Amino acid sequence: MNRLYLFFTLALTLLQAGPVGAEDDFQYWIQTQLKIIDTKRVDVSLYGEGWFVNDVSENGLQFYAVKVAYNISPNLDLGTNYSYLSPNSTNSLSGDSEYTWQHRAEIEINPKWKLRDGLRFDTRNRLEFRWIEGHGSYNTRSRHRVRITLPVSWERMAWLNGIYMDSEFFYNWAENDYDENRSVPIGLSLRINEQLTVKPFYMIRSTSSHNEWTSRHIVGTYVSYNF
């Protein structure tokens, strides 16, 4: 009971970090990570992500990345990534939908802790150097995610090994603006076997344009496979 109380207290606190109201557009995101090198100190993974937007009627984003994680200590991971994105956006002149490109070099500093009663608290702090089609190379952005995870060990649901909540905020250094927040009120960690983990989640993604916030409902699935 103590850990449940602590989990929900921390979760409700972090979910106050940004706008959480949502509008009608429903989206589905699929995220896949394949760990191809797994050592005591260094891991290498291939990552892919796709967004289905406008009530899941069209593809809104294709995302590919190579990630290298460095296990510095039990409480600290570092990371370096290269990412390529192809978002589907509307051309301001023609009004047509078109794919553009974006390259990113990323650096991560990710502290993590185990709290009492088995709770886990981790953060992901990423600095992104972005080259965006039509917007040049000065588009630096940082993003900071806080997550609290409650381990679960129920005999009748042996495949469920955790419940988590998180919130992530984005700061655009080129514009000096806090312009995005992603809040996950509920996510599940399903341990299928020693190699495969599946994490379904519900997210509210809020974005700011000209000081006006809009939000979207997102249901997603994160799939992690360790070769």
- Position 5 pLDDT exceeds 60: no
The pLDDT assigned to 130 comes to: 97
Domains along the chain? 2-226 (2.40.160)
The pLDDT assigned to 162 comes to: 95
- Position 222 pLDDT exceeds 60: yes
Select from 177, 169, 172 the least CA-distant residue to 146: 169
Q: Determine the Cα–Cα distance for residues 163 and 184; give it in Å rounded to an integer.
A: 11
3-class state of residue 158 by DSSP: coil
- Position 28 pLDDT exceeds 90: yes
Contact assessment for residue 29 and residue 218, using Cβ atoms and an 8 Å cutoff: yes
CA geometry: angle 111, 115, 116, nearest 5 deg: 170
Using a cut of 0.75, tell me whether the model's pTM lies above it. Answer: yes
The tokens of 191 are what?
């341990």
Note the pLDDT tens digit of each residue in 42-51: 999 999 999 9
- Position 86 pLDDT exceeds 90: yes
Note the pLDDT tens digit of each residue in 164-198: 999 999 999 999 999 999 999 999 999 999 999 99
At 220, which amino acid appears?
G
Element (H, E) at 20: none
